[in-house]
Amino acid sequence: MRHWFIRKFMGDNKMLREDISGTAITQFFHCWRAMPIAVLVGVIVLAQAGCGVSYVAKNQLTPRQSFRDELASGGQGPEMVVIPAGRFRMGCVSGRDCENEEMPVHEVRIAQPFALSKYEVTFAQWDACVADGGCGGYRPDDEGWGRGNRPVIRVSWNHAMEYVQWLSGRTGKRYRLPTEAEWEYAARAGTTTKYSWGNDIGRNRANCNGCGSRWDVQQTAPVGSFSANSFGLYDMHGNVREWVADCWNYYAGAPSDGSAWTSGYCTDRVERDGSWFDGPGDLRSAFRFWDSTDLRSVFHGFRVARTLTP
């Protein structure tokens, strides 16, 4: 039976031959008489009290695909979108309304796909962290605007780091803040214009001071209130400023591989996007902010990234 299985199943399935370790095969044959076997969509699950093996095939996620990871504490993590690998020119490539800190324009290579949360992290997701004993027990004020699917506000860079550490621990996956390069690459979604939809702010495309939405200069909007960009990401322009991993630096000598810049003025961290209170110029894909790592304000939130490769 054992030799037939190896010849018939493993011999016919190249992916499983490459991915299942010898240890896993040994454990399988040690336990197979006493346990049920389920084979479903490339995933083998072998379960038995006191004797079990779990195996999941290599990550088959494709660009722009959405997924959510299960939390060990119950429920699911944020909805994530797979962002494809690629190259782009980072900085003020539109040549319009450029700021000194957006220069020089430089080419960046994102060598591996990664995942970015489809929406900004919400109050509901933050409150789940607090309820599970994470995030330092900090419960930020929602200003009376509502919690639920509103983006969490009044969270510092340090708070955002606490959230990704909790999320990593509860999912067993490598969650983190996006790098500044990853953020701009995802916000542009293949474009070189001021915004992912063009060079004009338009009407009701985002939440800002002058965006033409019903939330302008009043409060945050529920996440996903506007159209997504071509990568399937929402609110990459406006609503709240988003913390990223990088220390503050001017672009001379910036990493070209999409990694975070972890030296420089590290008491200040970069934030991107633009908030419900900021003008359209601050929502441009190239625009950069920086603030102290302990700053908490009604303008600040964040979204999370996840590493997909080992």
Residues 92 and 123 in one domain: yes
Torsion of CA 176, 178, 180, 182, to 10 degrees: 140
Q: Take residue 82 and report the two structure tokens written for it.
A: 């797979």
pLDDT at 4 over 80: no
CATH number, domain of 257, equals 3.90.1580.10
Residues 46 and 89 in one domain: no
Residues 94 and 45 in one domain: no
Residues 49 and 70 in one domain: no
Residues 109 and 250 in one domain: yes
The per-residue pLDDT for range 229-283, each reduced to its tens digit, is 999 999 999 999 999 999 999 999 999 999 999 999 999 999 999 999 999 999 9
Number of domains in the chain: 2
Torsion of CA 123, 129, 134, 136, to 10 degrees: 10
Output the pTM of the full model: 0.81
Q: Which domain holds residue 174?
A: 66-307
Q: What is the pLDDT of residue 32?
A: 36
Residues 186 and 232 in one domain: yes
Residues 129 and 266 in one domain: yes
Residues 142 and 52 in one domain: no
pLDDT band at 52 (very low <50, low <70, confident <90, very high): very low
- 61 falls within a domain: no
Residues 136 and 197 in one domain: yes
pLDDT band at 309 (very low <50, low <70, confident <90, very high): confident
- 87 falls within a domain: yes
DSSP for the chain reads -HHHHIIIIIHH-HHHHHHS-HHHHHHHHHHGGGS-EEEETTEEEE--TT--EEEEPSP---TT-EE-PBPTTSSB---EEEEPPEEEEES-TT-SS--GGG-S-EEEEE-S-EEEESSPPBHHHHHHHHHTT-GGG-----TTS-STTSBP-S--HHHHHHHHHHHHHHHSS-EEPPPHHHHHHHHHTT--SSBTTBSS--SSSS-STTS--TTTTT-PPPTT-S---TTS---SSSSSEEEEEEEE--STT--SSS----SSEEEEEEEES--TTS-GGGGSTT--EEEETT---TTEEE--EEE---
Angle formed at CA 125 by CA 124 and CA 130, multiple of 5 degrees: 95
Spatial CA neighbour of 233 closest among 189, 176, 192, 175: 189
pLDDT band at 60 (very low <50, low <70, confident <90, very high): confident
Residues 46 and 113 in one domain: no
The per-residue pLDDT for range 66-114, each reduced to its tens digit, is 999 999 999 999 999 999 999 999 999 998 889 999 999 999 999 999 9
- Classify strands 114-117 and 175-176 as parallel, antiparallel or unpaired: unpaired
d(CA 21, CA 31): 16
pLDDT at 57 over 70: no
The per-residue pLDDT for range 140-179, each reduced to its tens digit, is 999 999 999 999 999 999 999 999 999 999 999 999 999 9
Residues 86 and 219 in one domain: yes
The per-residue pLDDT for range 177-192, each reduced to its tens digit, is 999 999 999 999 999 9
Contact 182, 114 (CB under 8 A): yes
Last residue of a domain, one of 11, 37, 56: 56
Residues 115 and 34 in one domain: no
